[in-house]
Structure 1
C-alpha cells in the first residue's frame, strides 16, 4: 500500500520505537493527515457504498482471520520479550507500548479502512488519554496511537483472557478490582500512585463499556478521580466512523472511513473534589460537540 507523506510520517513515528526504544517523537508534526492515499485524491471517499453481498462478507472474514493470526504471532513474540524483561518493570511498559504500536498499525493495515488523523501536535503529551468506544477497532487505534510510556487500565479478570491477558499483565499495565466500591476506590489510588511514581501516561475508555449503536454513552467518574490524584492533563481522542466499520456483535468489517482527532489538552491543576460531576459533564459535552450527529446521544 502506498502512503502519502503524512501517512508515512505517522507510520515511521510509531514504528521508529521498534528499532530504537530511546528515540523521541518529533514535535513538529503534521496536524491533519490521511493514511490512505486514495482518500487524498478523492474528496468523495468519505462516502462509501455499503455492500453486504457474500463476496464482501467473505473478504471481511478473511481479513478478520488474518488479523487474529497476525495478532497471535506478535503477541507470542512480545510475550517472550517481556518474560526476559521481568526484572525491569518500566522497560516492560515500553515494550508493551511498542507491541501496541506495531500490532495496532498492522491490524488497521490488514482491515484496510482509510484513516484520517488530526491534532497530532497533542499526541505526545504526558496525559490521561480518553477515548470513546463503539467498536473493536477502537482498541486497535488506541494501541497504535497512544505514546510510549502509556499504561491501560482494565478489570483484574483480564488475566484470564488467553495469551492477550497474560501479555497485558507482563507489560505491567494496571488492573482494578471492581468487585465492590471500596475495592474500586483503593485500586484507583494504587493506579494513580503507580502513574505518578513512574512518570507514566494513562489511556481509558470513560464510558466503561462499548456502545451498541455508536452513540456516546454517559461517562463514568473514574477518569476524573485519576486526574485529581495525578494532576495530569486530559487529552480527548475522538474516534468517528469505527462503529460503521465494525459493528458490535458482527464479523463484517466494512470499508468505512475512520477519523481520529486529538483535542487540545484539558488542564486539571485547579480541579477540586467537590466538582467531580461538573468535570464529567465538561468532557462529555466536548465529545458531543466533536462527534457527528449519528454518534451523539439521543437525550
Structure 2
C-alpha cells in the first residue's frame, strides 16, 4: 500500500513540478529592480507596499487553510489513538495535502531533482533555513515517515499539537541523556513498524541560509537502524521567507534528493568521519552563498 501511494505521489510531484515550471514566468511580469542582498546574492527588490500586502494575504490564507486541514485531521487522529502506526500514516497524508496546498498558496515555483530517490525507506535529512522548509518536508517525505523534532514544537500553533497527535517523536535538546533515549526509541519504532525517518541534522534553523554544523543524532540513528541516508538539499528557501520576516517573496526553490548512502558497514568509532563526509556533501551541492564560511 505504501509503495502504491508513493508511486502516485511521485507522479503527482512531477506533474505539479511541471505546472510550476510553466507558470513561473507570471512571477516575473511585474518589473522589479535587481539588488544585492546581505548574503551577496542578487535578488529582486519586491519590498513595495503592493508586494507586502500580497504577502500578508498569502500568509493569512495559509494560516486559515491550515486551520481547516488541521481540524479535520485532528478528529481523525483522535479516533485513531489506539493505533499509533495509523496515526503516523495519517500524519503523513495530512502533510502531503497541507504542505502542497501551502506551497501553492505561497506561489513559489518548485523544481524537484532526484525524485527517483523520494520513496526509499530511509533516514531523510534536510538543511533548514526557512519556515518553507517545513512545508516542503511535509509534502515531499513518503508515507510511513516519522519525524524527530525539539520538544518545544508542541507550542507551535496548530501544527505542534497535530505533530504530537500523529505520534511523531520529540527530543529534549537541553538533556543529552533524554535526547539519546529518544533516539533509541525512534530507532526501535522504525525497525518495529518499517518506518522511515526525517530529521534536520543542523538541529536548528540557519539565520542566513548558510549551512550550519551537523549534530551527530542522525548518524546514531543510522547505526541503530542501518537504514540508508537520503539527503534532501533545499535551495532558495532562505530568500523566499527569511527568518523573523513576514514577507514571502516569489523566489524559485529547488529540492534535490541525493542518492541513498548505505550505512550497512558503518562503525561506531567513525561517527565524526560520517558527519563530516555528509556535511561536505551538502556543501558541494549548495550554491556558494549557502555554503558554510571557511
Choose the corresponding residue for 1:38, options 11, 18, 22: 22
Secondary structure of 1:238's counterpart equals strand
Which runs of structure 2 are paired with 1:40-59 in the superposition (5 Å)?
A: 49-59=44-54
Equivalent residue number for residue 4 of structure 1:
none
Is contact 1:48–1:255 with CA below 8 Å preserved after alignment?
no
Choose the corresponding residue for 2:101, options 98, 101, 106: 106
Structure 1 residue 166: deviation in Å? Answer: 2.0
Equivalent residue number for residue 65 of structure 2:
70
C-alpha distance in 2 between matches for 1:252 and 1:122: 32
Choose the corresponding residue for 2:7, options 16, 23, 26: 26
C-alpha distance in 1 between matches for 2:243 and 2:25: 31
Choose the corresponding residue for 2:247, options 249, 252, 262: 252
Is contact 1:129–1:236 with CA below 8 Å preserved after alignment?
yes
How many residue pairs were aligned?
A: 278
Equivalent residue number for residue 156 of structure 2:
161
C-alpha distance 107-31 of structure 1, shift in aligned 2 (>3 A): closer
TM (norm. structure 1) is: 0.87
Equivalent residue number for residue 16 of structure 1:
none
Structure 1 residue 83: deviation in Å? Answer: 0.6
Does residue 210 (structure 1) correspond to residue 191 (structure 2)? The answer is no
Bigger Cα displacement from structure 2, 153-162 vs 228-237: 153-162
Structure 1: stretches of 5+ with no match in the other structure: 1-19
Which runs of structure 2 are paired with 1:181-260 in the superposition (5 Å)?
A: 181-260=176-255
Structure 1 residue 216: deviation in Å? Answer: 0.5
Structure 1 residue 176: deviation in Å? Answer: 1.8
Structure 2: stretches of 5+ with no match in the other structure: 30-41
Does residue 270 (structure 1) correspond to residue 265 (structure 2)? The answer is yes
Bigger Cα displacement from structure 2, 225-234 vs 168-177: 168-177
C-alpha distance in 2 between matches for 1:79 and 1:145: 21
Is contact 1:115–1:258 with CA below 8 Å preserved after alignment?
yes
Structure 1 residue 21: deviation in Å? Answer: 7.7
Structure 1 residue 25: deviation in Å? Answer: 2.7
Secondary structure of 1:93's counterpart equals helix
C-alpha distance in 1 between matches for 2:187 and 2:56: 40
C-alpha distance in 2 between matches for 1:21 and 1:82: 19
C-alpha distance in 2 between matches for 1:153 and 1:185: 12
